[in-house]
Structure 1
Amino acid sequence: MSSNKINKCALAVKMGLMAGALSLSMPAMANDGVTEDNVEVIQVRGIRASQEANLNAKRFANAVVDVVTAEDVGKFPDKNVAESLSRITGVGVSREFGEGEKITIRGASSATNRTLLNGQTIATADWFILDAPGRSFNYTMLPSALVSDLEVYKSPMARIDEGSIGGTVVLRTRRPLNLDANTVNLGVEMQYTETSGNWDPQLSGLYSWKNEDETFGVLVSAMRQDRDFVRQGFEVLGWPDNPDLELKVPSHIGVARFQQKRQRETVFASFQFAPSHEWDITFNALNSKVDADNQNSNWLIFVNNDAASLGGLTTIDNSIVAGSVADGGTSAFNFINRVASTETRSLDLDINYSGDDFEVHAQVGSTRAKGGTLRETSWEYGAATGYNFDLRGSTPSASTDVDATDASQFNAGWIWGGEKPTTDRENYAQLDLSFPVQAGAFTDIHAGVKYRAAKRTQDRIAYSWHGPNTLSDESLAPDWPVYLQYIFDSCPTMADCGLTQGTHHIDAVVSGNMTQQIAHNRARMEEIAFVGLNGVPADYARSLILDENWAVEEDITALYIQGDFEGDNFRGNVGVRYVDTRQTSGGYEFSGDSWGFLTIDRDWLTPAELAWVEQKNNYQEILPSFNLAYDLADDTILRFGAARVMARQNWNDISTSITYGSLNVAQPTGTASNPGLKPIIADQFDVAYEWYFNPQSVLAATLFYKRIKSYRSFSTFVDQRYWEEGDQMVDVTFTRPENGPGGSTKGLELTYQQAFGEHFGVIANYTYTDAKRSETRDESMPGSGLVEGTSDHMYNLTAYYETDLFSARLMYNYRTEWYKGLHFNGSELWNDNYGQLDASFTYNVSDNVSLALEAINLTNEQVLEYNTNKARTFSIYENGRRFVAGIRVAF
């Protein structure tokens, strides 16, 4: 056996990863030809042991791969998988709501990377109403405790699913036959969130059993995590070009407070049957649900609407950053209540058969997700006021003449609302065949076929309290034609009808008296909107917003063949994957006589012409790949990888959707989709040097280069939309995606990891990414010349100390500014530099019981977003610090 073969000890270290063992979901697929049979499971505990397991997995892989083990995940202060991934070289994470949600890899946006659970897609449906359905996976659905280990494949292999430009994340769950019988893991924690001032429970449990013959096992795990979350913010909702001033002007300036009660419940079960040495059959079932009801209040001044009255102006780079209105300016309190949730379900059957000279792997399953905003109510109360603002400096200021703590100052304005549910589903089936060969350096051949049938939908329904016949019993209120008017006449100001409950103060991100605000009464608002007022039943018309209702179906057939090779000082693989993609995008085509609405619960708005129209889009791709690992010495490896990769366009981008923002502003904007978009194609190359100078230590450098064939670009057009409040049609400027010119991404990854003495260690990594587009940069064309998700510099620093009794980690994660794509108003959105300091401490009371203390975002880092130029602030959000204390039991 050559020195390149993975020996059983190394494989056992890779497998023995939490307080038990690592379960690999697809033996034939995951171990590069090495199976788990007859391998002794080694218990791996502690930071140093988990680091050694991580490095063994990376060292003996046949591609450029990074690994985080279950033991490592348990020692991080991470509550979902995205935060654990942020520790890996080249991986960035977004934290808009204080918790990791979506990731970027090597400068590729979250939409152009793939996440697989046990080798398969996980359906996802975002809960936040402003999130457009995309291909990004929302990691809030996956608590870290669910995962056995995770791998990030940065160089592809033919037998791993296509669909990623940056990298593919493969998550694996535990298997009962790899754990001791009657294994129990329990965790009880309390999390304190600084911005809300509340303690929330977090509970987890796992039980695994197998029979004495170790032929059948059952594993069940369940987790519940509550979070009472408050985010304080300062927002500018747009930077339109004002033609009269010939300047960019803030559209709205607001001081916002977002509040959410989030409850995540996850249940996972695994049944494994291995009746003989040849057979291994595993059935996995996952259900994860997040209840995400939220409310948002925003005290706003409408600067662009008052542009003619602006005085005392200060401009930077042709943008108004400070000014005032003497009196009569437009302002409003906007209160939004949302009932929101997201739920993911997956059923998966994995069958492996190992014959004397071949292996067969079959996998079939289904994944479903549903969620979104299931009910929204938005109320606006306005006042005329003088005001001033100054957006310069780290803490902007905004003040008004009207007292925002006096509810009697605000008159009734408008009520709107609706629903935005989404669904995601995929059925899949695959068959893989592996057999050994003796053909020169080739040792194994793998071939397979996979079929995926997916469908993504979005519904959009508007509520209209001013619709006809919304007073079901006119005898109760004979003087009011519609329920909206009855509400406003009964509640002419915010002081009436109990719509407020005290005040709150937002002082973390902005100065000025706009920080002193009324607190709205969510329960009372929803009672009036959906139950009734003074004995008059609530009523509203429900209408489809036809432009925003769509469905996209996608059928994918993939074939591959891959050969593994090995010699005295080298190993690797070469293969090709053929992919056929067939997409059908459906949406409504209608006449404009009903303003784009179809009332579904009464006779009101019905277009004269209405039809469901589908557009088809088909393409085929051939994706070759090659990976080579060459041993320069026993502890030093040189790697080379080359491949063609692809990423399909976002679901929303290939739908028929057309959306727009507020119509009561000057120069309203919106976005449109394009069902004819082709995928993003890239040719990529990797060269890596890895020196494993002791069992817990490595020094590695990787150069990567990607030649992108076609990026997503944008064009604009103007069309009219109906403004309900003003009862008129207004011009809206829409932005539409297109296949544009390509570009290149090149970069460097550096990794250093070392254990010092018996107790100390450091882990450090750095990524430099230079991403460019061939498209000419033109700021008048939003998104032109920009690459989404790319930070030029990212780094992680970790220091740890560990004894048998106590362990501690201090971790810092940093990335420079990055372009996030288009804001919902069609403008370019950027995120400023972000760095987060976290810490974790564990005290081992006994072999089975440990106490844990964790701290997240110790430096209280704020999320700062801006519009291309840092002078044009979009938002400043403070999510606050979090602290977790708990006890963990394992036996």
Structure 2
Amino acid sequence: MNKCTLAVKMGLLIGAGALSSVVWADQAAEPAAKEQQVEVIQVKGIRASQQANLNAKRFSDSIVDVVTSEDIGKFPDKNVAESLSRITGVGVSREFGEGEKITIRGASSATNRTLLNGQTVATADWFILDNPGRSFNYTMLPSALVKDLEVYKSPVASIDEGSIGGTVVLKTRKPLEMEQNTINLLVEGQYSELSEETDPQLAGLYSWKNDEETFGALVSVFKQDRSLVREGFEVLGWPTNPDVDAKVPSHIGVPRFEQKRERETVFGSFQYRPTEALEMTLNLLSSKVDADNHNANLLLFVNNNVASLSDETYVNDSLVAGQVADGTVAYNFINRVASTETKSVDLDIKYDLGHSKLHVQVGSTDADGGTLRETSWEYGTTTDYDFDLRGSKPTVNTDTLGSDGAAFNAGWIWGGEKPTTDEEKYAQVDLEIPVDFGVFNQIKTGVKLRQAERTQDRIAYSWHGPETMDDPTDNYLNYIFRTCPNLSACGLTTGAVNVDGVVNGNLSQQVLHDRYRMEEIAFGSLNGVQADYARSQNLAEIWAVEEDITAFYVQGDFEGEGFRGNIGLRYVDTAQTSGGYEFSGDSWGLKTIDRVWLDPEYLAWVETDNDYKEALPSLNIAFDVAQDTILRVGAARVMARQDWNKISNSITYGSLNVAQPTGSASNPYLKPMLVDQFDVSYEWYFNPSSVLAATWFFKDVQSYTSFSTFVDQRYWEEGDEWVDVTFTRPENGPGGTTEGMELSYQQSFGQFGVMANYTYTDADRDEERNLDLPGSGLVEGTSQHMYNLTGYYEDDLFSARLMYNYRTEWYKGLHFNGSELWNDSYGQWDASFGYNLTENISLTLEAINLTDEEVREFNTDENRLFSLYQNGRRFVLGARMAF
């Protein structure tokens, strides 16, 4: 038995034994009512909001961090993920310059749950390279939607299972808790440095209740637009080339990504409280993000051109510089129509029976989205080129300039659809029974049913398919290329652009492609000839996973002289069914659905069942060491279910026109990750708005996800040949341990104040590190060091904050090509300023990413660069009105 398992079991046994002794010794003792201990704080301003945060943390029974609505409103954050990044132990990813996914205490985003008013929020990613997982995409939730958020780092039995790092509980506003006829308005303009565009951001809230305070209604509306431009440098893979016995860049490219992101969110809350005993709340949420985007990338096919390589430089057996004669250079233009939409309906009923309290909550949430239409154009040429990937800014030069559209000849066009859905229905019943049994003052018990389904569809477009032209010997793809033989023809480009933010050399000199002209030719017409293409199901990438969960829990809350806490058990039964297509290989894995063309001789939908049951005990004790000092101890077993795409019946692969193509396969038999954890926290509240705290945490992970590889053939249409593809498949592998320390400090000095926190995390796996087996021995999402620093000033008229958020490098999982992907250390400065014009109106100025930090990714060895992305600075000027 390892030390963490022993610590958890001993903690549970000692806690239960101690409580049992106190129960028999103090049968007649009257526990103090918690309601008498809770401090009531009116939240106004930065210092008061920090005091409210500490108040909630101080009187909790578990290890919890809290951010209130006032605090969220003062941060320069446009979604909840960025607000969470200020909390000790929480890291955030910013691939597109805005917080999207979080890690907690070294646990990846897929192994932490986010609950809205205690329930799941469905999510469907808009980006075509994202695989459906269990991580929540925070771009769906604007910060202003949330009243407060709580991060539970030590679990309690009454909160849903599914997290091994922490559970984020978001709480929305309720009309009966607000003043009658409350009106909040927000008008902002956001300027993005790279796009040079200013976009509107509007929010409004109205809350009403009757004089008797028996009925209330609240409506919030948010609209946030963002003109996004991301410039970058990419290496799309580092395969081992046998001809040079070294890792070689598969492609080198300089991409320019553009997107017009439009987010609209509507939230309504309706409360009915006819008596003091009965309260019903109906919450409705609809949030949609239109995320159409296009990407231009000028690519060098280095791994394909190794035979003509000269003047090479190798570092750690990796090719980092060289020259190529008559190499392949190609433009890849990708246009995507993409969106994601989430809806939730939640009914919450609370009824005080006198002798107990009944809670019933039922609802549903669903999301759909993804890339709804994609077309990718490739035009290429042959030329000499050289590259040097060393230094902070790589250098790439070509003899043929990328700004000369006439030099790039027609190559290929492909496209398709990748829509996804996410649905869940839930129903739970909870019962709180006050007791007078020694130190126990309340017993909580309940049952919850969840029915979820996650699906992915995949359609491939073929402009070279049959019947795309009146002449049966011709096709529309050939017609496009006859009519538009190079990039200077047919109005395919609109000028030139210099994509030099993160790269030196003339590869940065590129043409601007005309997205709308390409869309017109691909999906409309060209010179009067109607566009046509065959639509075929890509059978291996189509899947559906159903999941039925039944959970039962019992929890005892206790309180005595100088201590309080809870002990409980949650029992969970999970039944999964993964469905996908089984088919013969005679049609290249495709089934044409709009005409007679490709149809496998054998095709069947097959399903695989996977069931498991887990018992999850938990214990939390808070000791009042002194009037202002608390010592907390927590022990628990927690679990995290595997990502949806990992347990699906699917298999995907990347480009086949490269040497050593790669792909990914799923495994529907994966079991969940189980973790035994132990926490000790010391908190000193040396005045109402100040704290010094330290927390030690230890996690014994029973099984991490490992990966194995296999080789299978796939048909390459453009080359008309079968090629070997190396696939990576997930498996339940050996476990490991995660140990760490969190330190936090907060204090105000008159009108000034400071907040600081630091997290150290050491995560190890029992699996042996094997560089030939991607992902082996690595823990996803863990930065060894993370810290936040905030300084602020506030008086009656003016407020200001300066914030810095930093984390060291972390492993992000496997790249879409099957290689290990790491994110380099990242730190970001943000600032916010406020000026109170009147009691009801304030002006705000916010600055995001002040020092224009870049996102840098690499493949295990820092010399093997994967990408450099520049998202630029953003500035927001606005006015807030509250009546």
Please, what TM-score do these two structures have when normalized by structure 1? 0.95
Deviation at 1:12, TM superposition (A): 3.2
CA contact (8 A) 2:622 2:633 kept: yes
Give 2:526's match in structure 1, choosing from 520, 524, 533. 533
Pairwise mapping of residues 534-573 of structure 1 onto structure 2 (< 5 A)?
534-573=527-566
CA contact (8 A) 2:226 2:260 kept: yes
Counterpart amino acid of residue 582 in structure 2: E
1:114 aligns with 2:113: yes
SS at match of 2:844: strand
* CA deviation profile, 1:325-376 (whole Å, cap 9, x unmatched): 13x1011000000000000000000000012220000000000000000000
Q: What is residue 784 of structure 1 aligned with on the other side?
A: 776
Q: What is residue 316 of structure 2 aligned with on the other side?
A: 317
Task: Give the distance between the partners of 1:641 and 1:144, measured in 2 at CA.
Answer: 30
* CA deviation profile, 1:829-882 (whole Å, cap 9, x unmatched): 000000000000000111100000000000101000000000000000000000
Deviation at 1:728, TM superposition (A): 1.1
Q: Percent identity?
A: 71
* CA deviation profile, 1:673-713 (whole Å, cap 9, x unmatched): 00000000000000000000001000000000000000000
Deviation at 1:657, TM superposition (A): 1.3
SS at match of 2:401: coil
* CA deviation profile, 1:553-600 (whole Å, cap 9, x unmatched): 000000000000110100000000000000000000000000100000
Q: What is residue 708 of structure 1 aligned with on the other side?
A: 701
SS at match of 1:404: coil
SS at match of 1:496: coil
Counterpart amino acid of residue 828 in structure 2: Q
Q: What is residue 88 of structure 1 aligned with on the other side?
A: 87
CA contact (8 A) 2:31 2:441 kept: no
1:861 aligns with 2:853: yes
Give 2:437's match in structure 1, choosing from 430, 434, 439. 439
Unaligned runs of 5+ in 2: 1-28
CA contact (8 A) 2:312 2:321 kept: yes
Deviation at 1:8, TM superposition (A): 5.2
Task: Give the distance between the partners of 1:869 and 1:8, measured in 2 at CA.
Answer: 57
Deviation at 1:95, TM superposition (A): 0.2
Task: Give the distance between the partners of 1:677 and 1:878, measured in 2 at CA.
Answer: 37
CA contact (8 A) 2:31 2:559 kept: no
CA contact (8 A) 1:223 1:267 kept: yes
Deviation at 1:727, TM superposition (A): 1.2
Q: What is residue 20 of structure 1 aligned with on the other side?
A: none
Pairwise mapping of residues 298-313 of structure 1 onto structure 2 (< 5 A)?
298-313=297-312
Q: What is residue 591 of structure 2 aligned with on the other side?
A: 598
Q: What is residue 678 of structure 1 aligned with on the other side?
A: 671
Task: Give the distance between the partners of 1:538 and 1:227, measured in 2 at CA.
Answer: 32
Report the CA distance shift for 1:766/1:5 in structure 2 as closer, same or farther (over 3 A). Answer: farther
CA contact (8 A) 1:654 1:674 kept: yes
Counterpart amino acid of residue 446 in structure 1: K
Task: Give the distance between the partners of 1:221 and 1:404, measured in 2 at CA.
Answer: 48
Pairwise mapping of residues 364-763 of structure 1 onto structure 2 (< 5 A)?
364-471=362-469, 473-474=470-471, 481-757=474-750, 759-763=751-755
Pairwise mapping of residues 80-229 of structure 1 onto structure 2 (< 5 A)?
80-229=79-228
Give 1:827's match in structure 2, choosing from 807, 813, 819. 819
Deviation at 1:3, TM superposition (A): 10
Task: Give the distance between the partners of 1:831 and 1:4, measured in 2 at CA.
Answer: 50
Counterpart amino acid of residue 348 in structure 2: D
Task: Give the distance between the partners of 1:246 and 1:843, measured in 2 at CA.
Answer: 63
SS at match of 1:481: coil
CA contact (8 A) 1:636 1:689 kept: yes
CA contact (8 A) 2:57 2:65 kept: yes
Task: Give the distance between the partners of 1:409 and 1:717, measured in 2 at CA.
Answer: 40
Task: Give the distance between the partners of 2:526 and 2:296, measured in 1 at CA.
Answer: 22
CA contact (8 A) 1:4 1:570 kept: no
1:271 aligns with 2:270: yes
CA RMSD of aligned residues (A): 1.0
Task: Give the distance between the partners of 1:704 and 1:375, measured in 2 at CA.
Answer: 46
Deviation at 1:378, TM superposition (A): 0.1
Aligned length: 855
Task: Give the distance between the partners of 1:243 and 1:405, measured in 2 at CA.
Answer: 34
Deviation at 1:439, TM superposition (A): 1.2
Q: What is residue 253 of structure 1 aligned with on the other side?
A: 252
Counterpart amino acid of residue 834 in structure 1: Y
Give 1:879's match in structure 2, choosing from 858, 868, 871. 871
CA contact (8 A) 2:321 2:386 kept: yes
CA contact (8 A) 2:133 2:643 kept: yes
Report the CA distance shift for 1:694/1:4 in structure 2 as closer, same or farther (over 3 A). Answer: farther
* CA deviation profile, 1:180-237 (whole Å, cap 9, x unmatched): 1100000000000001001000000000000000000000000000000000000000
Counterpart amino acid of residue 875 in structure 1: S
1:10 aligns with 2:38: yes
Give 2:762's match in structure 1, choosing from 767, 770, 776. 770
CA contact (8 A) 2:101 2:138 kept: yes
Q: What is residue 847 of structure 1 aligned with on the other side?
A: 839
Task: Give the distance between the partners of 1:55 and 1:2, measured in 2 at CA.
Answer: 27
Task: Give the distance between the partners of 2:449 and 2:768, measured in 1 at CA.
Answer: 39
* CA deviation profile, 1:706-726 (whole Å, cap 9, x unmatched): 000000000000000111111
* CA deviation profile, 1:18-74 (whole Å, cap 9, x unmatched): xxxxxxxxxxxxxxxxxxxxxxxx4x1100000000000000000000000000000
CA contact (8 A) 2:30 2:436 kept: no
Task: Give the distance between the partners of 2:420 and 2:52, measured in 1 at CA.
Answer: 40
Counterpart amino acid of residue 342 in structure 1: T
* CA deviation profile, 1:526-558 (whole Å, cap 9, x unmatched): 000001111110000000000000000000000
Unaligned runs of 5+ in 1: 14-41
Counterpart amino acid of residue 47 in structure 1: I
CA contact (8 A) 1:238 1:874 kept: yes
Q: What is residue 230 of structure 1 aligned with on the other side?
A: 229
Q: What is residue 30 of structure 1 aligned with on the other side?
A: none
Q: What is residue 287 of structure 2 aligned with on the other side?
A: 288
Counterpart amino acid of residue 158 in structure 1: A
* CA deviation profile, 1:708-767 (whole Å, cap 9, x unmatched): 00000000000001111111111000000000000000000000000112x000000000
1:75 aligns with 2:74: yes
